[in-house]
Structure 1
Amino acid sequence: MLGERLKQLREKKKLTQQEMANLLGIARGTYAHYEINSREPDNATLGRLADFFGVTTDELLGRQKNTQVDKEISQEELTKLFESLSPEEQKAFLIKHIIPILGDDHRSK
């Protein structure tokens, strides 16, 4: 249940597993194991995940219906994520997440 919920919330924010791992300061493989339910986050990480997604730990664990799945990513969270990426990853992130918002006029030729 937790893994499915994490994947759903991550995909709603259009983030990759690598981007989530960077935000949490863990390896991508560790985060991937959370999503396939082969490993569980410790309490501190579970709390950080709940805070990031704007849900309670009970909601993550499936004990309570979610109340805010579509929480917007804050500017601080976005800045932290962007700064954790390599220049190549930053470019890919911009192309994937920002340019579609701005429209085709902002694509480089």
Structure 2
Amino acid sequence: MRRDVFQAIADPTRREILNMIAYKPLNVNSVAEHFDVSRTAIYKHMKILIECGLVDVKQQGRERYCEAKMERLSEVSDWVEQYRKFWTAKLDSLENYLNELQKKNK
């Protein structure tokens, strides 16, 4: 099953995992050590991140390293941007209206 990036970032644990591996790949055990949940739970979170295309796991010897693929977050950024434009326009209109009211009251 292919999941989308919104499912991945919906969970705070998965967001923290992404934050941890954003700048350097870590092995799965290093990631799991930072959480007070079972390794099985972390593996389930990792599986979702992999299915969403946000994480690649590469085998190096006996270790499996998790590497973030942050490019996929552009989908989220694009979605948010449409609302940023909407609210910026609304807030600009409000600012103009309030400025006009201030001018009339002076």
Q: Which TM-score applies when normalising by structure 1?
A: 0.31
Bigger radius of gyration among the two: 2
Given the two structures, how large is their TM-score scaled by the length of structure 2?
0.31
